[in-house]
Amino acid sequence: MSGQTFSVLHTFTGGSDGATPTSGLTSDGAGNFYGTTRYGGYLDGDCAPNGCGTVFKIELVNGEWILSTLYTFKGQTDGFRPEARVVFGQDGALYGTTSGLNADDGDNIGGTIFNLVPPGQPCKSANCVWTKKVLYQFGNTDCTAWSDYETCTYGDLIFDNQGNIYGTTSAGGTAGYGQVYELSRSGSGWIFTTLYSFAIDDDGDFPYGGVIFDRDGNLWGTTSLGPRYGDVPGFGVAFKLTPSSSGWVESWAYLPGEIPYAGLAIDRRGNMFGTTWAGGPGLCTGGGIDVPFQGCGTVFRTSASASLNLPLTIYSFATSLWYPAPGGPMAPVTLDAAGNIYGTAIADENGFGSVFEITASDLAYTSLHDFTGASDGANPISNVTFDSSGNMYGTASASGMACAVIGGGCGTIWEITP
């Protein structure tokens, strides 16, 4: 992609439109896009002072991009701070998660899985509110919060052909180090089942990135850390869960990088592609100071064979001005029909992040846009989404303009056209 044009479609203010989008966008196929913000929206009660977050829609109306808020989270049992994308189910509703849930004493004890149903009649209002329902509420045994970051449910949800939902929690499960779960329909309700619980010494821990299916019905994903050998921590694995008569069986492989926050993407031949936030060959350098990580993040690929082979590095980031953090990708990559790879890095060599392309033919890396930390945005934690014309869309989690609820900027929605 050469000669592209970068445009900002919306700058978040921290008011009713929200603030800090920490995931990418979902297309409805008709040119409209949907997403979430971690902050903003409802500012009272447990949500004060930064807000509980929103679900939004952005659409092109008479040549102008218009954002409307579909739902504003209220905290308590309603949930707060969505960090993953919303995705469409077979019924046309949007499904997603909140990363936090307030108990009566104000403490975060988990999160929720929810859906949003569109209005039955055409909406003539600028902000057309959808109907929200909590499908499942995580508790202490499902997702014990390990810190104040409320990142229990960070990865995107997926569906099988029967409409059952699959996802991960970054903590909780039997051992407390995360799990892969299924939420299956039962009449008018849903049943939650833990498919696999991670144990820190054996198989990795803290899966942030969700799971995907391969063509044989196996589930694939990553854990951000582990396995641990004694006092020596591991820095993440790629895993595969294979269904069997006795449950789901895990196999895993170390990665060529460290700390993968994102899930995986699959190509037409069954190869898996992913990212790591740190690691890779060489030292991670920035501002004349060596960052204490081996490399600044990677893009990697696994083999399409039946076994989980050692992933190979496709590209390694070498510089990060986001000292002392590496600043590599924190979002999954997107593949086009030709197998080219697209993604974002949260900081990398310019300190504010970038949108990049890696061509399938020669694995050549191109930065499509380097964020400046000004009106264009900063620090994207976004996947890349395409429309039918080949235009690219995503979000930046920070900057854009002064934010009403948090320090710095509230973030932007951007477009890159060929």
3-state secondary structure of 47: helix
pLDDT at residue number 147: 42
3-state secondary structure of 210: coil
Average pLDDT of every residue of the chain? 87
Band (3; pLDDT cuts 50, 70, 90): low
- The string of pLDDT tens digits covering residues 331-369 is 999 999 999 999 999 998 788 999 999 999 999 999 999
Q: What percent of the chain has pLDDT over 70?
A: 87
pLDDT at residue number 75: 86
- Quote the CA–CA distance of 83 and 385 in Å, as a whole number: 17
pLDDT at residue number 171: 84
CA atoms lying within 13 Å on the CB side of residue 191: 6
Q: Is the pLDDT of residue 67 over 90?
A: yes
Over range 294-318, report the average pLDDT: 81
Over range 72-97, report the average pLDDT: 92
Amino acid, single-letter form, for residue 108:
N
Q: Is the pLDDT of residue 125 over 70?
A: no
What φ, ψ does residue 10 adopt, rounded to 5°? -155, 140
CA angle 226, 139, 94 (to 5 degrees): 90
Task: Determine if the pTM surpasses 0.75.
Answer: yes
Band (203; pLDDT cuts 50, 70, 90): confident
Which of 76 and 62 is assigned the larger pLDDT? 62
Alpha carbon 155 to its chain's center? 5
Which of 176 and 264 is assigned the larger pLDDT? 264
Band (148; pLDDT cuts 50, 70, 90): very low
Q: What percent of the chain has pLDDT over 90?
A: 59
Over range 245-250, report the average pLDDT: 92
CA 374 to each of CA 6, 16, 355, 378: distance values in angstroms, whole numbers, following the listed order: 14, 22, 16, 7
Q: Is the pLDDT of residue 293 over 70?
A: no
Amino acid, single-letter form, for residue 264:
L
pLDDT at residue number 104: 45
Residues 51/81, Cβ–Cβ less than 8 Å: no
- Give the best-scoring range by mean pLDDT among 72-76, 86-90, 201-205, 282-286: 86-90
Q: Is the pLDDT of residue 291 over 70?
A: no
